[in-house]
Amino acid sequence: MNLDERLFNVTVIGAAGKMGSGIGVLIAQEMAKLKLKPENKDNVYRLNLIDVNEQALDGLRAYMSAQLLKAAEKSVVMLRDMYRERQDLVENADIIDAFVGDASRVLNFSTDTDVARNSHLIFEAISENEKIKIKVYKKLNKICRSDAFYLTNTSSIPIGYLDEMAGLGGRLIGYHFYNPPVVQRLVEVIAAQNTTRELRSTAQELGKRLHKKLVPAKDISGFIGNGHFMRDGLHAIAEVVRLKGKFKYTGAVYVMNRISQDFLVRPMGIFQLIDYVGIDVFQCILKVMRTHLRDDSLKDRLIDRMVKDKVLGGQYPDGSQKDGFLKYEKNRPAGIYDIRKKEYVPITDEWKKKIDKKIGPTPERFVPWRGLLMDAKKEEKLGLYFDELKKMDTLGAELAVNYLKKTREIGQSLVRQGVAGSDDDVNAVLTNGFFWLYGPINEYI
């Protein structure tokens, strides 16, 4: 069965979540495009969007409509060619409305897993809990076609383990989209030893159609993305513990967040990123990796205490940031959580000035991440910037250089362990999935 045939009937499990909804938009667009081909006019296409409650599905309906409209507006030139036989569609607005309507007609919203019965492709994007995933896969394996392919969005659970526990016989592959799937180009592809050749081929072809950058990762817990991110975050937390005597806990969090964002020229500070992902999610991934890798270093008391205090981060339904390590006002850091007092300490200008003075200034060549993002000479400018940074005798420069060394060490260890096939694969994940301007394995230090 080729990919076109598999796209007749597709299911997304966990469709109302951040990842599932984005996957749903991508697949709906692809199915609508196929439906518009003359040779497919008699085919029935169905995308089953399954989640646990009706309220979540109501939100999903609105999200799908809004995203399909955006996608149509961006690709109206292509759509005009696809609708060239429709004499009644004259204005761009008519073509956009027609495509949104055609895409919407393939959608089937449900809370009943049984509607996946006839699907040829099944995407799973539920919580990062292996017991729940295995339970869902066992049920699907009983009711679904024997030739159905399963693509899991897990970011840390070994694919071979899930496949074996659910009895899927090699019909499961890791297909780790990055958040949000409609924007992020990266997909980590993780095949287990017994993943069928046809499924591997199907996953590759699907990625090309969705215009994604596919990076292969070995089936080792955490894969490349979280294999690096978890250890990167743990380094920052360890530095906070080391520095809290000099800056107090809240000051140390501010320091490492600023070092990672400004001095390392990243899109956001490390603690902002952990808050964005969710502190409880960070803890969950650490647990998965610790269990499967049998590595007790993948644990942190501070993370556990934050979760115990129910300070979890994450996002509200409208995409705004929930408070975590940092308190947010209009999505900008405005306070830092004091683990002892269990309250947020405001980030005032006077407080920042005192700490920034101890850190020292950024190099004169410093340009913020956003300022370099589209700069054709960013690599040259980064090289000059880091050359200057290395020569500075300040605490900030010392912390930044040590952080650079640590991120490179983490990346190189992923290559040595075979998690990543090359330095380039590690760098591709961090630059495409995390929007870094440069990969961790570099010549800057």
Cβ 198 vs Cβ 440: under 8 Å = no
Q: What share of the chain is helix, strand, coil (3-state, %, to 5)?
A: 55, 10, 35
Tokens of 17: 């979540």
Answer positive or negative: Cα dihedral of 434, 437, 438, 443: negative
Among 130, 110, 127, 91, CA closest to 24: 110
Q: 79 in helix, strand or coil?
A: helix
Q: Which CATH architecture has domain 225-422?
A: Orthogonal Bundle (1.10)
Buried/exposed code over 40-61 (b: 16+ C-beta within 10 A; e: otherwise): beeeebbbbbbbeeeebbeebe
Pairing relation of β-strands 121-124 and 149-152? parallel
Helix/strand/coil (H, E, C) string of 35-66?
HCCHHHCCCCCEEEEECCCHHHHHHHHHHHHH
Return per-residue pLDDT of the chain as tens, 445 residues.
Answer: 999 999 999 999 999 999 999 999 999 999 999 998 889 988 999 999 999 989 999 999 999 999 999 999 999 999 998 898 888 888 999 999 999 999 999 999 999 999 999 999 999 999 999 999 999 999 999 999 999 999 999 999 999 999 999 999 999 999 999 989 999 999 999 999 999 999 999 999 999 999 999 999 999 999 999 999 999 999 999 999 999 999 999 999 999 999 999 999 999 999 999 999 999 999 999 999 999 999 999 999 999 999 999 999 999 878 899 999 999 998 899 999 999 999 999 999 999 999 999 999 999 999 999 999 999 999 999 999 999 999 999 999 999 999 999 999 999 999 999 999 999 999 999 999 999 999 999 999 8
Residue at 31: amino acid letter: M
Half-sphere exposure of 246 (CA within 13 A, CB side): 16
Rg (CA), the chain: 23
Q: Which CATH architecture has domain 3-216?
A: 3-Layer(aba) Sandwich (3.40)
Residues of the chain with CATH 1.10.1040.10: 225-422
pLDDT at 84: 87
pLDDT at 22: 96
Residue at 355: amino acid letter: I
- Helix 225-258 to helix 301-308 angle (10° resolution) is 80
- Residue 423 burial (C-beta neighbours within 10 Å; 0-12, 13-18, 19+): middle
Residues of the chain with CATH 3.40.50.720: 3-216
Cβ 151 vs Cβ 175: under 8 Å = yes
